[in-house]
Amino acid sequence: NAGVMQNPRHLVRRRGQEARLRCSPMKGHSHVYWYRQLPEEGLKFMVYLQKENIIDESGMPKERFSAEFPKEGPSILRIQQVVRGDSAAYFCASSPPGSGANVLTFGAGSRLTVL
């Protein structure tokens, strides 16, 4: 069981470019959560998805950020027109059906640096 796989581990973008972060949940997990960790801070909830559905996006910035979890393939967190303030570590977590956020398995994170 490979666990939650995130890629890329490190991504460098210039201001105005797009960033795409991918997350493959653990085998058997159908719920995906994205969290952002700014330097020297704890993780902040962004969005919760199930296959083909966004369940809760209350933590997502209203503009430039979007997330999807298609029927096939990984979940994608997309940041358009990145700015320096988007520099952070983005963590994906997954959980099995019925457990909610009680049984979260985290990936190793994707560190985004915006120049």
Partner 1 sequence: AQTVTQSQPEMSVQEAETVTLSCTYDTSESDYYLFWYKQPPSRQMILVIRQEAYKQQNATENRFSVNFQKAAKSFSLKISDSQLGDAAMYFCAYRSSMKTSYDKVIFGPGTSLSVIP
Please say which residue, 16 or 61, places its beta carbon nearer to partner 1: 61
Phi and psi (nearest 5°) for 49? -130, 150
The nearest distance, CB 2 to partner 1, in angstroms, is: 13
How far are the Cα atoms of 40, 50, 51 from residue 31, in angstroms, in the given order?
27, 5, 7
Please say which residue, 25 or 109, places its beta carbon nearer to partner 1: 109
- For residues 53 and 9, give the distance between their C-alpha atoms in angstroms, rounded to a whole number: 25
What residue ranges bind partner 1 (CB under 8 A)? 31, 33, 35, 40-45, 48, 55-56, 58-59, 89, 91, 93, 100-102, 104, 106-109, 111
Cis before residue 70, ω within 30 degrees of 0? no
The nearest distance, CB 96 to partner 1, in angstroms, is: 14
